[in-house]
Structure 1
């Protein structure tokens, strides 16, 4: 079994603090600033799973007053990326998003929660296309969006 990732260690420490979810989410958005545009809150993280929430605010709306399609994509990529970062053994492997296929199933007129999950434990390969399924749900627990995000996983090479 692989040891806990650095990201999961930080997550665990943040959970001991008041506003730990908020603090951790801010740190993630500091590291990857574009995600800050949707003001996400990561609410669960473990190897193989991540979930996050985006509030239904004007800043993420489209012209009809619902959560914009690209805000939904942004939330899906955030969950998938944080989950993969927490799951891939950082000492031997690295990852980068390679592609995304999405389906918009309904207008999003409430807060939205994203869930990214893969089976764990798993054997990590070199030059692997890992498909990460992400599902977004509204406050009524209705599925409103799905994404399959392809993460390109490679072994780290030794450099001198």
Structure 2
């Protein structure tokens, strides 16, 4: 399977982990400009798991100095989208179909999203010409709590030639 995102990630494997995360974040921030503007950091990208974090800094804060609700949703959407995207052949297009975020409590500090796919999900993405999948994601803040619960449904369709 040909996958441009996987080629980008694989080409950075020789870098030390902290430098690799920064380099990948800069490159992928240019692929999706809004993600780059928000300062998301790609800590890990594999076909089974993507970890993305965001620092609680002024450019993403709300009126109470926490990470803004829209930035939290972006964090979860990005992690889930990239775990789908790294498994899609280049002739398929990933599309967010449904994004549900329930906000339960104030956040403390920086945040992290962990999105995962199991072997059966990955096989479906590889084999089906088009489809959709609910991607599990956990979003935690600096205290280890989960201030939000998310449901992200991603679809994939053939790219138009």
Q: TM-score, normalised by structure 2?
A: 0.86
Partner of 1:47: 47
Helix, strand or coil for the counterpart of 1:87?
coil
Tell me which protein shows more helix as a share of its residues.
2
The one-character-per-residue Cα deviations of 1:101-157 (angstroms, maximum 9, x if unpaired) are 111122112110111112124223244221112221112221122221121212457
Give the whole-Å Cα distance in 2 for the aligned partners of 1:109 and 1:11.
30
Equivalent in the alignment of 1:104: 103
Of the structure 1 ranges 38-47 and 148-157, higher mean CA displacement relative to structure 2 is found in 148-157
Mean Cα deviation higher: 46-55 or 7-16: 7-16
Q: Are 1:25 and 2:28 matched, yes or no?
A: no
SS at match of 1:15: coil
The separation in 1 between residues aligned to 2:139 and 2:98, in whole angstroms, is 18
CA distance in 2, matches of 1:73, 1:15: 28
> Quick check: 8-17 or 39-48, which moved more?
8-17
- Distance in 1 between the 2:37 and 2:148 partners? 19
Runs of 4+ off more than 4 Å: none
Name the SS for the 1:122 alignment partner: helix
Partner of 1:56: 56
Q: TM-score, normalised by structure 1?
A: 0.86
Structure 1 position 89, deviation (Å):
2.5
SS at match of 1:108: coil
- For residue 64 of structure 1, give the secondary structure of its aligned residue in structure 2: coil
Tell me the distance in 1 between the aligned counterparts of 2:43 and 2:21. Answer: 6
- What's the counterpart of residue 128 of structure 1? 131
- Residue 106 of structure 2 aligns to a residue whose secondary structure is coil
Q: Which runs of 5+ in 1 are unaligned?
A: none
Task: Name the residue aligned to 1:16.
Answer: 14
- With 130-139 and 5-14 compared, the bigger mean Cα shift is at 5-14
Residue ranges of structure 2 left out of the alignment (5+ in a row): none
In the alignment, what sits opposite 2:156? 153
**1:106/1:15 Cα in 2 relative to 1: closer, same or farther (>3 Å)?**
farther
